[in-house]
Amino acid sequence: MKPAIVVYKALLPTELRHKLDEHFSVTAFDELSSATYPAFLQALQNAEGLLGAGGKIDADLLDKAPCLRAASTISVGYDNFDVAEMTRRGIVLMNTPTVLTETVADTLMGLVLATARRMTELDAWIRAGGWKESITPPYYGHDVHHKTLGILGMGRIGTALAQRAHFGFGMPILYHSRSRHQEAETRFSARYCDLDTLLGQADFVCIILPLTQQTHHLIGREQLKKMKPGAMLINAGRGPIIDEKALITALQDGTLSAAGLDVFEQEPLPADSPLMTLPNVVLLPHIGSATHETRYGMTACAVDNLIAALHGNVKENCVNPEALKK
Ligand SMILES: NC(=O)C1=CN([C@@H]2O[C@H](COP(=O)(O)OP(=O)(O)OC[C@H]3O[C@@H](n4cnc5c(N)ncnc54)[C@H](O)[C@@H]3O)[C@@H](O)[C@H]2O)C=CC1
Ligand SMILES: O=C(O)C(=O)CO
């Protein structure tokens, strides 16, 4: 008999659904809503595998899935999973690094440009009947090329961003990360420094860190005050890395000149968030990796990851290899 799996919020292309069907007995939920949630919980009771995106996968939910052996997330970030609890139960967690790296670095560079050159504000301007004659110096943007870029998190995506900034825009690069990154230093002349130095010297601070206990609210009121006057803050890591209340105050009182955000403390961003009305903010709805090509690559990778995990053939993309030993 094929192992039972539950797929949620995965939007599987036909050929990937067929691939899963060859290996597993699949129960799929395109959306998780109050209408579909009871059936989802019911299906979890026999599921050996779980594949999907988002959601809070904690001990309570794992209790509802007593047969679970592997979970495969269509993302590189896995802060929504209780990894320690999964490892304790011998449940393998798989993710999709690498396939999305270049696309997310493109998004970050796009956010830097859109924020510095006020692209969304000027888009709204022209739609409201404005034209360039009415744009006076207070509405001008700022140069990006040759300005100093600060990268928080010199991992896969941070390095791809450094490559773009160095070769495409001639930007000097500062970075702060858990450890030194030789390739970024050698190939892109990136300079390692502590957080305060980076905040004090960078014209653009780009966050592409994972959300962990250590990075939660890493950027708060004190850190925002340490940023160089006129500097801009870009976040595509996870929303709670920035204290969003402090960010809003800094944007309102001029401590921070502008921000470009793909991620938020609460997602979807609440309609009454002050961020919605601030002109000096560029907002994206967590679409860092959302291109046709990359989302296909991520979904294909997550499918292969689950097949490998449930067939005891894991070679890569395992978040908690200790679980394999249980
Ligand atoms: N907005 C979006 O759509 C997307 C967001 N992401 C986010 O980007 C994150 C990074 O992705 P990758 O570059 O593939 O991961 P990675 O693991 O290659 O890089 C993360 C880097 O952060 C550093 N780091 C971790 N904790 C730190 C700390 N406390 N202090 C300083 N540095 C620390 C690590 O040393 C590493 O260099 C993901 O975890 C996810 O949260 C990723 C993809 C898409
Ligand atoms: O992969 C991730 O971590 C995302 O946020 C979505 O691509």
- Position 233 confidence tier, pLDDT thresholds 50, 70, 90: very high
> pLDDT (tens digit, 9 = 90+) per residue, 175-204?
999 999 999 999 999 999 999 999 999 999
Tell me the best of 100, 109, 152, 157 to mutate to test the pocket of ligand 1, counting ligand atoms within 8 Å of each CB and taking the most. 157
Distances (CA, A) of 130 to 75, 118, 122, 136, 297: 40, 14, 9, 12, 41
Closest CA to 231 of 244, 247, 217, 214: 247
Which two structure tokens, joined as six digits, stand for 164? Answer: 């773009």
The label of the residue with tokens 């305060």 reads: 196
Query: What pTM did the predictor assign?
Result: 0.98
Question: Could you tell me which residues come within 8 angstroms of residue 131 by beta carbon, excluding any fewer than 6 positions away?
Answer: none
Active site residue 187: no
Q: Which ligand is nearest to the CA of 152?
A: 1
Q: From CA 325, how far away is CA 306, in angstroms rounded?
A: 17
Q: How far from each other are the two terminal CA atoms of the chain, in whole angstroms?
A: 23
CB 85 within 8 A of CB 59: yes
Q: State the distance from the centre of ligand 2 to the C-alpha of 76, rounded, in angstroms.
A: 5
> pLDDT (tens digit, 9 = 90+) per residue, 163-172?
999 999 999 9
What b-and-e string marks burial along 250-260, b requiring 16 or more CB atoms within 10 Å of the CB?
Answer: bbeeebbbbbb
CB 138 within 8 A of CB 164: no
> Which helix H or strand E contains 205, and what residues bound it?
strand 204-207
DSSP per-residue codes, 286-297: S-TT-SHHHHHH
The dihedral through the CA atoms of 102, 114, 117, 281 has a sign that is negative
Q: From CA 326, how far away is CA 322, in angstroms rounded?
A: 7
- Position 11 confidence tier, pLDDT thresholds 50, 70, 90: confident
Alpha helical stretches, state H, the chain: 14-23, 37-44, 59-63, 83-88, 101-116, 119-127, 156-163, 169, 182-188, 195-201, 221-226, 244-253, 292-310
Give ligand 2 pocket residues (Cβ under 6 A): 75-77, 100, 288-289
* Mean pLDDT computed over 108-134: 93
* Ligand 1 atom with minimal separation from the 289 CA: 3
The sheet carrying 191-192 orders its strands as: 191-192, 173-176, 149-152, 204-207, 232-235, 258-261, 281-283
Closest CA to 62 of 73, 47, 79: 47
What b-and-e string marks burial along 134-149, b requiring 16 or more CB atoms within 10 Å of the CB?
Answer: eeeeeeebeebeebbb
Strand partners, 176: 152
Q: What is the ipTM of this complex?
A: 0.99
Q: What is the pLDDT of residue 132?
A: 78
* Mean pLDDT computed over 97-113: 98
> pLDDT (tens digit, 9 = 90+) per residue, 125-144?
999 998 877 788 888 999 99
Active site residue 18: no
Q: Residue 311 pLDDT more than 80? A: yes
Q: State the distance from the centre of ligand 2 to the C-alpha of 80, rounded, in angstroms.
A: 11
Which two structure tokens, joined as six digits, stand for 185? Answer: 């230093």
Q: State the distance from the centre of ligand 2 to the C-alpha of 75, rounded, in angstroms.
A: 4
Q: From CA 230, how far away is CA 227, in angstroms rounded?
A: 8
Question: Could you tell me which residues come within 8 angstroms of residue 156 by beta carbon, excluding any fewer than 6 positions away?
Answer: 76, 97, 98, 101
> pLDDT (tens digit, 9 = 90+) per residue, 14-28?
999 999 999 999 999
Tell me the best of 98, 196, 208 to mutate to test the pocket of ligand 1, counting ligand atoms within 8 Å of each CB and taking the most. 208
Give ligand 1 pocket residues (Cβ under 6 A): 76-77, 97, 100, 104, 153-158, 177-179, 208-212, 214-215, 236-238, 262-263, 286, 288-289
Strand partners, 43: none
- Number of neighbouring beta carbons within 10 Å of residue 10: 20
Which two structure tokens, joined as six digits, stand for 75? Answer: 């993302």
Domains along the sequence of the chain with CATH: 4-97+292-324 (3.40.50.720), 100-283 (3.40.50.720)
Active site residue 191: no
